[in-house]
Every structure is written in C-alpha cells, then in structure tokens.
C-alpha cells in the first residue's frame, strides 16, 4: 500500500507526509480579502485545498481546517469610500457572498473562520513580541518588521534580498510608507490611521494591522505555533507567506508549518488573469451559467501545482466529462427497477483494484489528474452497462460486480467532492444570469444608485490610467444591467436606465 508524499514548497521536493500528531492534521488556508466576489483563480485554490482536505479525511485523518477572512484592508477601505458605506458593510457583503459561492462549489465549511477584526489581541501581542525581540520598530505611528533581523528571510521563496535589489527594482513592491522605513524591504505590521479611517487603539497609537501579521496571529490563535499544512495560491508564496514565516518564527523559534502547499495559477486564454488585462472573471459570474461540479472536475483535471489554462474548450470538455460521471453516479437509482442495488448495499465492499490505483495517484502529491482516470473507467463501464439494459434489457456483468463498481465510483468521487446534488441541496443564493465580472448588482434587483456611481468611478479611474479595456468592460457591464452611459465633454459621465 502506498504512503502519502507531498511536495513541500519550503524544501522544494516531495516529502513523506508525517503530521505532528499521528492521525491528525491541522491545516490553514489563506482566505479572501472581503472587498469583491472571489475570482476563478481563488476558486481553483479553494477547490484544490478542499480536495486535499477531503482526501486526507478519506484516508482516515482527522483534519482541523481553518480559513481566514481579511476584513480590514486598504482595498476594502477604498471600496467603502467609493460607495460611501462603512468598511464593515463591504466586508459583511463579500463574506456572505463567499459562503454562497463556496457552497455552490461544494467546498466544505472550515472548522473555523477567524477574522482580522476578531483577532486584534493576538495581532497586537505578536507585534509586541516582535518589538521585544528586536524584529520590529515603530516609525511615525506605524510599526515595521525589520527584515534584515531575520537571517532566514527568503527561505520559502528562495529569494535573496541582495538579488531582489540588484535586478528587480521595477518588480519590488515599494510601499507608500517607504519614507518611514529603515529598509525598503521592511513591511508594515501596524498602520496608523489616516483621518476618517477605522482605527483600533494600540500601544503605537490608533491604527490597524498589516495584512501579513493577521495570518500569523490567526494561525497561532486557532491552531498553535506549528501547524501541519499551510496552503494558498502560488501568488501568496512571496511576500505573504515569506512574511508570515518571518513574523511567526522570529517569535516562537519554531517552524510555522511543516508543509507549505501552493497551487498553480489559472491563465485565461493563455494570459495571466489580472484586473489590468480586463480578463478578470469572478466565480459568481462563471457559475451563473456553468455547472459548479463541472468546474470542480475542470480543476481536478490538472494536478494542483500545475498551471491551468481557462478556455471555453476546456470548460466545454469538463462539462461533458461531468455529464459522463453524473450519469454513472446515478446508475443505481436510474436502474433501481431492473437491478436490486439497494441503499444498504452502499456499505458493502469496494473494488479494491480501483481503490488502490486511486489511492496511489492521490498519494503522489494529490495527482487528481490520474485519479480521475480511475473514476472515468468505472463511469464508462457503468454507462455502457446502462445502455445494454436500456437496449437489450440485460447487462453482461453480474449485479454484484455492478453494485461494487457503482459504490466504488460514488466513494472515490466523493473523496474529490464530486457529488450529484439534488436541486434542493444546491444553495440558491441569488445569482445573476447576465452580470459581467465584478458586478455589484445581483439579478432580480437592479443596481443601486451608489453601486452605479461606484462603477462609474472605477471606470473613470481606469480611463485615467489609460486602461481602456477595463473602462470598456465596466461600460458593457453596466449596459448588461440596463444602465447606459453618456460621457460629457467636461469629463463627467451621465447615466440613465435603458428604458427610461
């Protein structure tokens, strides 16, 4: 029987998986910053780690799964200002939307969802400890992490500070507060509040935490000083996860995580998805007209670390693949009159050959791509037998064999979260059939005036940045919602409802 091997981004190789406590796995996945619907790249990450979690459970581990919500952030604040509402209102809106979309994708609920605003004690404690240890310094109401005090900085991403300075001035994110920092690579742990911004009291004055420190504190609060798996998209490896390591390990002197898992990007039609390219696609927008299970299948067709090309052909192929699986998953109920495959038989034994091939594939760093081939073999055979039943009135395999294949398919598909859900099980949050990407409005209810003004503001900003593709996208998005724009010679934009 195979044993589980996992690619660890930290060591850059596959390692045998040995959790800290035998039989138990603590797992932390970086969640959304709640200022928008999550995009298909995020959806891939959440599905990929949900599959890993389900597989660990299938393999008998007791998995404790934590995913955070960042509900304090510059992007949330910006959106709140644009809409003229409190930051909390924006965060609540997109946290609710997160659950609607994640439920649709059959992503299991985490055991805990810590939020930055609920973790201020742990955050301030960690900053204080970093200060005590000489890893942090206050400057102008902010507090910064002194990157050069942590000799192991760069160990996760394999970057060296010297190299970054030498070659890549354009790529390094120099924060606005640069003038307060002692070193351009230092990053903010605590940001002083500008007038009118939400702020929390602290020993360094009123302000709010930086993004990286939130995760370090929430991991420690919920799972302890060393966890088994820390996961996120490959875009989080640097600087976010590198900074988490620097913060947590400087204080505890212990490894933050035994295994670091990073999933690959989604490219859209061969290009990296980004807002500036105008090919940004939310999961909500996709799922308005696409089967969530087909999307799960689409994600599982690639091993989770590999990049995925998001194309219409790929989506069409995944949808037809899902129809094949779906029909086979329903085999027992479709032919319950002809074959006696009773419900309690679901407890009976499985096809051990198929199970061991599935397990071998998944044990090799969660190779869902090969694992799926086992599912498709079972599904195609069941569907063939189904056709024989329909056309010839009999199968050419015994009921026992068919029952075993059917149960095996259900069991293995469930380990990947591929399940046929009756309509009543599928969450029915409102979803727009016509909404474009990043749309504030939801079908059945027109956009509010402030949502329209906000989108017009975003479009003006895009035009100012000469990002005409984005500007045009927003215009089309509004048109799809029945809002027409008229640009005035003085640069302002008027709008009206299509039929008024």
Binding stretches for Zn ion (CB under 5 A) = 30, 215
Least distance CB 161 / Zn ion (angstroms)? 21
Q: Report the distance separating Cα 359 and Cα 342, nearest Å.
A: 26
Nearer to Zn ion, 63 or 215 (CB): 215
Q: Which residues pair with 29 in a beta bridge?
A: 67, 231
Nearer to Zn ion, 114 or 264 (CB): 114
Nearer to Zn ion, 33 or 408 (CB): 33
Nearest to 283 by CA among 263, 317, 310, 306: 310
Least distance CB 248 / Zn ion (angstroms)? 11
Least distance CB 47 / Zn ion (angstroms)? 18
Least distance CB 100 / Zn ion (angstroms)? 22
- Rg for the chain, CA atoms, rounded: 25
Nearer to Zn ion, 139 or 234 (CB): 234
Least distance CB 211 / Zn ion (angstroms)? 8
Least distance CB 49 / Zn ion (angstroms)? 13
Q: Report the distance separating Cα 454 and Cα 361, nearest Å.
A: 48
The interaxial angle of helices 368-392 and 352-363, nearest 10 deg, is 150
Nearer to Zn ion, 55 or 211 (CB): 211
Nearer to Zn ion, 215 or 374 (CB): 215
Nearer to Zn ion, 90 or 215 (CB): 215
Nearer to Zn ion, 216 or 432 (CB): 216
Nearer to Zn ion, 145 or 406 (CB): 145
Least distance CB 114 / Zn ion (angstroms)? 11
SS (H, E, C) the chain: CCCCEEEECCCCEEEECCCCCCCEEEEEECCCECCCCCEHHHHHHHHHHHHHHHHHHHCCCEEEEEECEECCCHHHHHHHHHHCCCHHHHHHHHHHHHHHHHHHCCCCCCCECCEHHHCHHHHHHHHHHHHHCCCEEEECCEEEECHHHCCCCCCCCCCCHHHHHHHCCCCCCCCHHHHHCCCCCCEEEEEECCCCCCCECCCCCCEEECHHHHHHHHHHHHHCCCEEEEEEEHHHHHHHHHHHHHHHHHHHCCCCEEEEEEECCEEECCEECCCCCCCCCEHHHHHCCCCHHHHHHHHHCCCCCCCEEECHHHHHHHHHHHHHHHHHHCHHHHCCCCCCCCHHHHHCCCCHHHHHHHHHHHHECCCHHHHHHHHHHHHHHHHHHHHHHHHHCCCCCCHHHHHHHHHHHHHHHHHCCCCCCCCCCCCCCCCCCCCCCCCCCECCECCCHHHHHHHHHHHHHHHHCCCHHHHHHHHHHHHHCCEEEEECCCCCEEEEECCC
Q: Report the distance separating Cα 387 and Cα 226, nearest Å.
A: 53
Nearer to Zn ion, 30 or 147 (CB): 30
Least distance CB 277 / Zn ion (angstroms)? 25
Least distance CB 240 / Zn ion (angstroms)? 6
Least distance CB 163 / Zn ion (angstroms)? 24
Nearer to Zn ion, 153 or 322 (CB): 153
Least distance CB 459 / Zn ion (angstroms)? 31
């Amino acid at each position: 029987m195979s044993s589980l091997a996992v690619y660890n981004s930290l060591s850059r190789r596959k390692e045998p998986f040995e959790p800290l406590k035998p039989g138990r796995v603590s797992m932390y996945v970086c969640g959304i910053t709640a200022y928008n619907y999550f995009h298909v790249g995020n959806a891939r990450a959440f599905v990929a780690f949900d599959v890993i979690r389900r597989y660990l459970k299938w393999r008998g581990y007791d998995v404790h799964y934590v995913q955070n919500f960042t509900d304090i952030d510059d992007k949330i604040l910006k959106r709140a200002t644009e809409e003229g509402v409190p930051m909390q209102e924006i965060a609540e809106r997109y946290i609710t939307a997160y659950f609607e979309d994640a439920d649709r994708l059959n992503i299991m609920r985490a055991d805990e969802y810590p939020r930055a605003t609920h973790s201020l004690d742990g955050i301030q404690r960690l900053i204080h400890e970093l200060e005590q240890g000489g890893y942090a310094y206050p400057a102008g109401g902010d507090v910064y992490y002194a990157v050069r005090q942590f000799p192991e900085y760069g160990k996760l991403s394999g970057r060296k500070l010297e190299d970054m300075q030498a070659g890549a001035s354009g790529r390094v994110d120099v924060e606005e507060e640069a003038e307060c920092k002692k070193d351009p690579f230092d990053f903010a742990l605590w940001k002083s509040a500008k007038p009118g911004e939400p702020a929390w009291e602290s020993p360094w004055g009123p302000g709010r935490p930086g993004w990286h420190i939130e995760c370090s504190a929430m991991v420690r609060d919920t799972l302890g000083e060393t966890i088994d798996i820390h996961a996120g998209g490959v875009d989080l490896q640097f600087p976010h996860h590198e900074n988490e390591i620097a913060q947590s390990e400087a204080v505890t002197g212990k490894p933050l995580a035994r295994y670091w898992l990073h999933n690959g990007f989604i490219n859209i039609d061969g290009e990296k998805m980004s807002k500036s390219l105008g090919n940004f696609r939310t999961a909500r927008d996709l799922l308005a007209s696409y089967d969530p299970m087909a999307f799960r299948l689409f994600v599982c067709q690639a091993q989770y670390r590999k990049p995925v090309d998001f194309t219409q052909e790929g989506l069409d192929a995944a949808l037809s693949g899902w129809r094949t699986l779906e029909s086979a998953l329903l085999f027992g109920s479709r032919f319950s009159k002809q074959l006696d495959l009773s419900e309690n038989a679901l407890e009976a034994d499985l096809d051990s050959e198929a199970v061991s091939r599935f397990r071998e594939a998944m044990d090799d760093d969660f190779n869902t791509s090969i694992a799926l081939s086992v599912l498709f073999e079972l599904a195609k055979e069941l569907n063939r037998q189904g056709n024989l039943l329909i056309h010839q009135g009999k199968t050419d395999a015994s009921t026992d064999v068919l029952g075993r294949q059917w149960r095996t398919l259900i069991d293995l598909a469930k380990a990947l979260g591929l399940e046929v859900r009756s309509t009543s099980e599928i969450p029915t949050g409102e979803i727009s059939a016509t909404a474009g990407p990043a749309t504030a409005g939801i079908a059945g209810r027109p956009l509010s005036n402030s949502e329209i003004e906000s989108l017009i503001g975003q479009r003006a900003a895009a035009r100012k940045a000469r990002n005409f593709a984005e500007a045009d996208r927003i215009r089309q998005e509004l048109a799809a919602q029945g809002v027409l724009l008229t640009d005035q010679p003085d640069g302002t934009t008027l709008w009206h409802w299509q039929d008024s």
